[in-house]
Amino acid sequence: MTTGNSHQQTDNRPPDARQTEAEAREWFMLRAERSLSASEQSDYDTWMQQVHNRSAYQRLEQIDRSLAALAAGEEGARLRQPGGIDGVMEKLRGVFGNLAGPVSGVAFACTLMLAVGTVYLAPWQSEPGPQAYASELAQQRTLTLEDGSLVTLGGDSAIETAFSGERRQVKLLRGQAFFEVSKDTERPFFVKVAGAEIRVVGTRFDVHAGSPQNAAIKVTVEEGIVDVSSTGPARTGSTPAAKVRLLAGQQISVSEQQLSRVSRVDATQVASWRQGKFSYRDAPLSEVVADANRYRKHRIVIGAEELEKLRVTTAFNADQADTLVTMLEQSLPVRVFKEPDGRVVIWPGTVEE
């Protein structure tokens, strides 16, 4: 087949772009094959935080959705017939041209094999595949899922949904999301996030996925009941609780597969970020910075590891994210340096008298 070679001859992208596409394909195929382990999910979340990585992965998702639509139509029917692949080659090439731009022969062959394996060799699945949704930096996005449930995504957040006749499942890939779940006793609603699983029937609750520097996941209930379970192996010598039930006005954290004690919160203030308000009481600096970075054009970086767990009590509005660093410098033993590209680095320092 000469198609792959012709694409390869015109692939003039730099090596780092090809490497990014290769990594995207590896993650895409692994996540299609099975659920990620806790460590793999952490690596994937870290990898997806890079804009160029995320863009490459989202292009594959677009191609996958387009191929699914193609397979459901007349071209897909031809694919499933003996010798039918030649008749749809140009259509597939058009999909790549429209969605991915210049594509290497390896990328084309890889995705084509996925398409042929799904459409030509395997029976067509009646249930829809996973759907991915994301919000942009400093953007809030409200989605209505196919069961009528509402999901509000915080800035730079992403989810993936997979609904079946027995189960409704959402993966929180990064960021923060508030769920208003439509009641359906026959189909429980699950939210999966690295290290934890939340099960509900119908309720309103918030899930914060944490960050690489602060891996703690937070689940906070505004209304109804949710069950939170830790997933993955526990630390050596520890015995985590298998499941904790939360009621309205309660919160729990999951860190290193361990469930914290249940704490009380003001139910009326759950997910106040939806109104652009962020409030922290004795929270790690890494959590505050990670949240602010989802609403800032230029990133805040903690320059020293010992500062990541520095406890902070503060509050700011989303439109004050740019001035947060000044507030921190005035109240904490830190010094702030603004680099020419706009990035801000926080280093240890002293509070001036």
If asked whether residues 338 and 234 sit together in one domain, one would say no
If asked whether residues 111 and 25 sit together in one domain, one would say yes
Does residue 99 lie in a domain region?
Answer: yes
Give the model confidence (pLDDT) of 94-124 as tens digits: 544 444 444 444 444 455 445 444 443 344 4
Mean pLDDT of the chain: 78
Bridge partner list, 277: 317
Residue 72 has pLDDT above 80, yes or no: no
Give the model confidence (pLDDT) of 154-188 as tens digits: 999 999 999 988 899 999 999 999 999 999 988 99
Residue appearing with tokens 């008749």: 87
If asked whether residues 144 and 230 sit together in one domain, one would say yes
If asked whether residues 15 and 89 sit together in one domain, one would say yes
Banded pLDDT at 48 (limits 50, 70, 90): confident
Banded pLDDT at 2 (limits 50, 70, 90): very low
If asked whether residues 172 and 53 sit together in one domain, one would say no
Q: How many CB atoms lie within 10 A of CB 339?
A: 10
Residue 314, domain extent: 276-348
If asked whether residues 264 and 286 sit together in one domain, one would say no
Q: Nearest CA to 28 among 117, 139, 130, 152?
A: 130
Residue 353: per-residue pLDDT: 40
Question: What separation, in Å, do the N-terminal and C-terminal C-alpha atoms of the chain show?
Answer: 74
Give the model confidence (pLDDT) of 195-240 as tens digits: 899 999 889 999 999 877 677 899 999 999 999 998 865 544 444 4
Q: Nearest CA to 152 among 221, 229, 217, 207?
A: 207
Give the model confidence (pLDDT) of 250-306 as tens digits: 999 998 778 999 999 998 889 999 999 999 989 999 999 999 999 988 899 999 999
Which of 269, 303, 326 lies at the terminal end of a domain, its last residue? 269
If asked whether residues 265 and 171 sit together in one domain, one would say yes
Does residue 126 lie in a domain region?
Answer: no
Does residue 250 lie in a domain region?
Answer: yes
If asked whether residues 170 and 185 sit together in one domain, one would say yes
Residue 178: per-residue pLDDT: 97
Residue 14: per-residue pLDDT: 55
If asked whether residues 264 and 280 sit together in one domain, one would say no
Banded pLDDT at 30 (limits 50, 70, 90): confident
Name the more confident of 6 and 258: 258
Which of 68, 87, 121 lies at the terminal end of a domain, its last residue? 121
CATH of the domain at 240: 2.60.120.1440
If asked whether residues 293 and 324 sit together in one domain, one would say yes
* Tally of domains in the chain: 3
Residue 56 has pLDDT above 60, yes or no: yes
If asked whether residues 153 and 229 sit together in one domain, one would say yes
What are the structure tokens assigned to 83, written together? Answer: 């010798």
Residue 77: per-residue pLDDT: 55
Does residue 293 lie in a domain region?
Answer: yes
Residue 173: per-residue pLDDT: 93
If asked whether residues 264 and 178 sit together in one domain, one would say yes
**To which H or E segment does residue 258 belong?**
strand 258-259
Residue 76: per-residue pLDDT: 54
Does residue 257 lie in a domain region?
Answer: yes
- Do 193 and 172 contact (CB within 8 A), yes or no? yes
Does residue 292 lie in a domain region?
Answer: yes
Rg (CA), the chain: 23
Residue appearing with tokens 């079946």: 164
Residue 86 has pLDDT above 70, yes or no: no
Does residue 189 lie in a domain region?
Answer: yes
Does residue 353 lie in a domain region?
Answer: no
Arithmetic mean of pLDDT, 313-334: 85
CATH of the domain at 316: 3.55.50.30
pTM score, whole prediction: 0.62
**Pairing outcome for strands 311-317 and 344-348:** unpaired
- Do 112 and 60 contact (CB within 8 A), yes or no? no
What are the structure tokens assigned to 41, written together? Answer: 């999910």
Which of 121, 145, 167 lies at the terminal end of a domain, its last residue? 121
Residue 168: per-residue pLDDT: 95
